[in-house]
Structure 1
Amino acid sequence: MNNNEISDSKIRDNFYDAVNGEWIKNAAIPSDHSSTGGFMDLVDNIDKTLMNDFEDIKSGKIKPQNNDMVEFKKLYELATDFDKREQDGAKPVQPILEKIENIKSFDDLNKQLANWTLDGLPLPFDFGIEADMKNAKYNALYASGAGTFLPDKTYYDKENPAGAKLMPVFKDMSKQLLVMAEYNEAQAKNIVDSAEEFDRLIAPNIKSAEESADFTKMYNPMSFDSLSNKVDKFDLNSYVKGLIGQIPDQVIVSEPEYFDAFNKIVNDDTFAMMKNWMLVKAINASTGLLTEEFRQVGGEFSRTLSGKKASVKKEKAAYYLASGTFDQVIGDYYGHKYFGEKAKQNVHDMVVKMINVYEKRLSKNTWLSKDTKEMAIKKLNALQIHVGYPDKINPLFDTFKVNGKDENGDLFTNIHNIGKLVIKHEFSKWNKPVDKSLWDMSANTVNAYYSPLENVIVFPAAILQAPFYSLKQSSSENFGGIGAVIAHEISHAFDNNGCQFDEDGNLNNWWTKEDHEHFDKLAQSMIKEFNGIPFAGQKVNGKLTVSENIADGGGLSCAEEAAKGEEDCNLRDFFINWAKIWRTKSTEQFKQLLLSIDVHAPSELRAQVQVKNLADFYTTFDVKPDDGMYMKPEDRVNIW
């Protein structure tokens, strides 16, 4: 539908529906999707393009341009050798299951604990390396709790009906997988029942998605001795020494309550349950590397959770597996071939323009003191910008060597070996400087992000196309699309989490007490604006989504100001394209899942609610108090 065909009267009544209603009515969710819309259309097109290219690489029509692509080609050939995968059956995973079965005591496990992690095997805790929040130039050791079978601890609440429906699905699937791996029915049932018992011991002691959304509360530094002394049955000293080469003075514990409860969860009485929990975790993690039946059965829980009617075709699953393993290599290929240096520079200039607009807005801000303003602008000017694709990719990928079909290689072993290299590489970064040039997303990812620990914003090539950005769109449409996305990521530097980090990425309060108290009141207003909005038979959690809502509000407002600075400004086009980029049609199950775990508000509400905060929306569409889109001035939230 042309923008001019959308009537203002419909917009005044329901903005999102006026712009997207016709599309929603006609859109069909593909059977292997849980949603369709602006983002997913781009994902599907990129997948189609790259799958065609990779078939040409496999057939020899396209020659791999570098050694990394040669290794990718070998892995892709193994992933798509479905006959070989059928012949291998359950054999590749059986040594891993046997390894878990052969553990007879905690002493047995402690003797091989570091290698256990390097082999990618599950444990009832997790260690990793991230930038130190208080000294972000260097990497630190972090410890957290274990992941549960269900997506969030709230699913384990007795009053949550979703958990009661989903756990039987997960258990039936896991039993079937174990039988396929040559356990008998009784064994499989006992393993899964016992594993569920252990899983339910973990759940009350880990953080929920809402609790995890308060990012800075992850920072709980502790002497390593103190943590080690909290854990009776695991020798954490030898474990960590085996991973980073020494016992560190300090570890940052993201879930201290979990380790306070650890000995009640993990002890001699629960040892057998823990083993069974590890078996269930291991078999579920392996299904995508085995036969088609394993893949189909192993996806049942995920499909139930998201409302997908079917799994993706095996060819696409093989593409996801191989390209996901070589993600930065594939991103580099995509970025150079389908994006290029000219577009990279154009979008970089647009980001700089948005930063300049943001700086003006900060300097004119009426509620920040002079000192806080100066620090905010200092942080803004220190922001690093990454657009399109990285200038260099992580040298880790140069170490990936694949034993291909010609060398009698198999998919499972190669993925296992590459996984081991990745985990070793992660732990090798401990106490070393953070490399801010490396991206956490590949260039073929339809997304963008801000990292508070690096003070960097990243816009992969894949999102830099219509409806977000196109030379065929007007400047107002581009600002309503990619402009708002760019300003959204900039706003994350000043959301309820990002505002607590300085220009170097350190957790450091640079606000005056009065300014921070005022900001907290505004953040509470944003929580209130979204909290309790009915959606998909449930309600929006304003606390879970506050950081993204603050970024949306700041992003849209800032992008609007940039659009108004252009000669061809058309605010009607600006707002309409904002609604278009959020057009989404999802299964009911997927909507409900996201309400429980996603820090973003539902797409429809991101489009619909934020515009009500902007005075120009009311004048552009002549919105009056009796209209559905009207919000009283005193209820409108404007932070940035």
Structure 2
Amino acid sequence: MSDEVNTAMLKDDIYKAVNGEWLKDAKIPADHSSTGGFMDLVDGIEKTLRADFKALANGEMQPANDEMTEFKKFYQLVFDFKQREQLGAEPLKPVLKRIEALESYQDLDEQLSDWMLSGLPLPFNFDIDADMKNAKVNALFSGAPSLILPDKTYYEPDNQAAKQLMPIYTQMVRTLLEKVGYSADEAEAMVEEAKHYDAQIAPNVKSAEESADMVKNYNPEKFTDFVKATNQLDLKRALTELIGKTPDQVIDTEPNYFAFLSDLLDDNNFTLMKSWMIVKTVVSYSNLLSEELRVLGGTYSRAISGQKEPASQDRAAYYLATGTFSQVVGDYYGKKYFGEQAKQDVHDMVVKMINVYKQRLTNNDWLGEATRKKAIVKLNSLKILVGYPDRIDPLYKQFKVKVAADGGTLVNNVQAFDRIAIQDQFSKWNQPVDREKWEMSADTVNAYYHPFKNIIVFPAAILQAPFYGLDQSSSENFGGIGAVIAHEISHAFDNNGSQFDEFGNMNNWWSKEDHEHFDQLAQNMIKEFDGLPFAGGKVNGKLTVSENIADAGGLSCAEEAAKAEADCDLHQFFINWARIWRNKSTQQREQLLLSIDVHAPSELRATVQVKNLADFYITFDVTAGDGMYLAPKDRVNIW
């Protein structure tokens, strides 16, 4: 595919100028919902690792450690398609019987802690994470269950996507239920009951936009008060059994939902809840069963994303195996395919970006002196993780695969792993937070900033062209991975990150005047994106504001770093920025992301942010009347 840049178009649309030839030729594979910069890297890594793991499974390659030995066994089990066909839905029957046996809330209550450990559906969930006000210690969080439709906003009466999606979901679940042994009448009744239950949940949970405001997710409540949310289930006993001690508080991320919980868990809803549990279980386990059930169980998700065909049996098996042993796979990938030279080079780039930020904060003309100093303290405390972790998460030492000869199936192995992981999570309550723990594996094409830990993480997989390459120019690298690095640093100072201090504690370290000024700048960013037309819909500026602030700060700081290099070429810098966002997606996927994704569409990330930078206009001689021109008064500059 061509990488030719249409220089005549640069003034009117840099995204199409850089990616136009590629967009013309690019085809979305039938088993994908998108293709482009990120997805090309994902596909390349998949191709590499599938070849390696085929050799591992065949005995042509030896496992490097005990965790890889267990991964090899699981990989062989996942690819034993003959066994999966022979077993059909049988491995799922004991799980369904357990739900079917419930005759009252009391029956559920008597096994509630074990039910949670088993990962079975419940109309609430609990998690352990860093306490947002005391980020050195892990706390208990409560949350709401996921909905059938992608977001609360889909339940509004005029939502056209919902009118298309719900019939597809209904038909898929009916057929699945019949395939696993229920009669047609039972299947029809259960799916309607599950939908009725889901419809009661939807109005009481947060939308993606509401959840994006991190500070509003922090609602600490005395444990003794919180457990009064329902008298049908003894939450105090169950959580005490799981944690080993009665906690003093719960951080409630969904207070409106838990205020509604007692109404949801009334006697009239018990049968609906059971049907909801069965439906969720059958759908979630379908990918572990026969090929027919796997393909059928993915019908709805493919409809949501616009994916025309299911992934091949081999491809689905690869992702199931590597997803289950993600950090083990990441360790293998990082050590084999990511060199020390690149690791050091990227680490040096991160340090350069931090220094740019320090300089900008020092020279900032709208922050008060005390706030500026505190911001620099936060930068100095920022922990940098590049490539892959120093060690595999100890959790994986507990994963012991039960092979087929000993009665092992995908279902009972995954159940065992889930149980270990859930128990491990609850064991971390009130324990020190591990700032070294990675929440992405090294083979993941992404990066992140964690506000509770004040860390930035760059997995090895994203550290390759077009984002980064030892053979790319410094300007290209700064326009690619440099901007991504600075983007993650910017998250420490976006509308969410700015609420957390150098330790990751939610702490108002800004003066009132500084916050008011920042809030106005954030409003300007919301305004810049809000309502922009895309894929038949409009961008939600409030939903995407954090990522847009990070993009703006990241691009601006990366440009400054590029300019400090002897071989600076801002043409290359801006062109590679536009290149990394190249993307072609199905309309369904684009519309879905407009509703739920905190990132703006890729094309707009490429085009809108450069309009805020004075050097862009100089570099490409953009003037009033050109498509890429934005009047100076409308340009948004925060960091």
| Same fold per superposition (TM over 0.5) | yes
Partner of 2:260: 261
Describe the SS at the equivalent of 1:165: helix
Gaps of 5+ in 2: none
Deviates further, 230-239 or 506-515: 230-239
CA distance in 2, matches of 1:233, 1:386: 45
CA distance in 2, matches of 1:363, 1:169: 56
Partner of 1:76: 75
Q: Is the aligned partner of 1:316 residue 2:315?
A: yes
Q: Is the aligned partner of 1:365 residue 2:364?
A: yes
CA distance in 2, matches of 1:378, 1:2: 46
Partner of 2:387: 388
CA distance in 1, matches of 2:468, 2:340: 16
Partner of 1:540: 539
Partner of 1:283: 282
TM-aligned CA deviation for residue 592 of structure 1? 0.2
Partner of 2:400: 401
The C-alpha deviation readout for 1:496-521, integer Å capped at 9, x for no partner, is: 00000000000001101100100000
Partner of 2:490: 491
Partner of 1:581: 580
CA distance in 1, matches of 2:357, 2:111: 53
CA distance in 1, matches of 2:112, 2:89: 25
CA distance in 2, matches of 1:169, 1:128: 32
Is the contact between residue 220 and residue 251 of structure 2 (CA under 8 Å) also seen in structure 1?
Answer: yes
CA distance in 1, matches of 2:262, 2:119: 23
The C-alpha deviation readout for 1:473-518, integer Å capped at 9, x for no partner, is: 1100000000000000000000000000000000001101100100
Partner AA of 2:506 in structure 1? L
Is the contact between residue 403 and residue 410 of structure 1 (CA under 8 Å) also seen in structure 2?
Answer: yes
Is the contact between residue 448 and residue 463 of structure 1 (CA under 8 Å) also seen in structure 2?
Answer: yes
Partner AA of 1:160 in structure 2? N
Is the contact between residue 74 and residue 405 of structure 1 (CA under 8 Å) also seen in structure 2?
Answer: no
Describe the SS at the equivalent of 2:10: helix
Partner of 1:463: 462
Partner of 1:28: 27
Is the contact between residue 5 and residue 19 of structure 2 (CA under 8 Å) also seen in structure 1?
Answer: no
TM-aligned CA deviation for residue 407 of structure 1? 3.1
TM-aligned CA deviation for residue 165 of structure 1? 1.3
CA distance in 1, matches of 2:190, 2:473: 60
Partner of 2:249: 250
Partner AA of 1:454 in structure 2? K
Q: Is the aligned partner of 1:444 residue 2:440?
A: no
Identity among equivalent positions (%) equals: 61
CA distance in 2, matches of 1:7, 1:68: 50
Partner of 1:91: 90
Partner of 1:155: 154
CA distance in 2, matches of 1:312, 1:629: 39
TM-aligned CA deviation for residue 232 of structure 1? 2.2
TM-aligned CA deviation for residue 234 of structure 1? 1.4
Partner of 1:139: 138
TM-aligned CA deviation for residue 228 of structure 1? 1.1
TM-aligned CA deviation for residue 7 of structure 1? 4.5
Mapping 1:39-188, distance limit 5 Å:
39-188=38-187
Is the contact between residue 109 and residue 233 of structure 2 (CA under 8 Å) also seen in structure 1?
Answer: yes
CA distance in 2, matches of 1:116, 1:423: 11
Is the contact between residue 77 and residue 405 of structure 1 (CA under 8 Å) also seen in structure 2?
Answer: no
The C-alpha deviation readout for 1:135-176, integer Å capped at 9, x for no partner, is: 000000011111111111111110111112111111111111
Describe the SS at the equivalent of 1:127: strand
Describe the SS at the equivalent of 1:6: coil
The C-alpha deviation readout for 1:91-113, integer Å capped at 9, x for no partner, is: 01111111111000010000000
TM-aligned CA deviation for residue 264 of structure 1? 1.7
Mapping 1:545-624, distance limit 5 Å:
545-624=544-623
Partner of 2:433: 434
Partner of 2:524: 525
Partner AA of 2:403 in structure 1? G
Describe the SS at the equivalent of 1:261: helix
CA distance in 2, matches of 1:162, 1:311: 21
Q: Is the aligned partner of 1:345 residue 2:324?
A: no
Partner of 1:194: 193
Deviates further, 145-154 or 298-307: 145-154
Is the contact between residue 393 and residue 438 of structure 1 (CA under 8 Å) also seen in structure 2?
Answer: no
CA distance in 1, matches of 2:103, 2:25: 58
Partner AA of 1:315 in structure 2? D
Partner AA of 2:332 in structure 1? Y
Describe the SS at the equivalent of 1:252: strand
TM-aligned CA deviation for residue 408 of structure 1? 3.7
Describe the SS at the equivalent of 1:613: coil
CA distance in 2, matches of 1:2, 1:378: 46
Partner AA of 2:538 in structure 1? K
Deviates further, 424-433 or 258-267: 258-267
CA distance in 2, matches of 1:561, 1:76: 46
CA distance in 1, matches of 2:420, 2:412: 13
Gaps of 5+ in 1: none
TM-aligned CA deviation for residue 2 of structure 1? 8.4
TM-aligned CA deviation for residue 203 of structure 1? 0.2
Deviates further, 403-412 or 211-220: 403-412
CA distance in 1, matches of 2:97, 2:483: 52
Is the contact between residue 8 and residue 621 of structure 1 (CA under 8 Å) also seen in structure 2?
Answer: no
Partner AA of 1:177 in structure 2? L
Partner AA of 2:511 in structure 1? T
CA distance in 2, matches of 1:460, 1:302: 27
TM-aligned CA deviation for residue 73 of structure 1? 0.3
CA distance in 1, matches of 2:314, 2:148: 27
Partner AA of 2:229 in structure 1? K
Describe the SS at the equivalent of 1:520: helix
Q: TM-score, normalised by structure 2?
A: 0.99
CA distance in 1, matches of 2:173, 2:53: 33
TM-aligned CA deviation for residue 401 of structure 1? 0.5
Partner AA of 2:99 in structure 1? I
CA distance in 2, matches of 1:515, 1:447: 32
Describe the SS at the equivalent of 2:35: strand
Deviates further, 451-460 or 237-246: 237-246
Partner AA of 1:127 in structure 2? F
CA distance in 2, matches of 1:332, 1:407: 29
Describe the SS at the equivalent of 1:251: strand
Partner of 1:227: 226
CA distance in 2, matches of 1:102, 1:514: 60
TM-aligned CA deviation for residue 345 of structure 1? 1.4
TM-aligned CA deviation for residue 245 of structure 1? 1.4
Describe the SS at the equivalent of 1:93: helix
Is the contact between residue 379 and residue 502 of structure 1 (CA under 8 Å) also seen in structure 2?
Answer: yes
What CA RMSD, in Å, does the superposition of the two structures yield over aligned residues? 1.0
The C-alpha deviation readout for 1:554-597, integer Å capped at 9, x for no partner, is: 00000000000001000000000000000000000000000000
CA distance in 1, matches of 2:450, 2:564: 28
Partner AA of 2:24 in structure 1? K
TM-aligned CA deviation for residue 341 of structure 1? 2.1
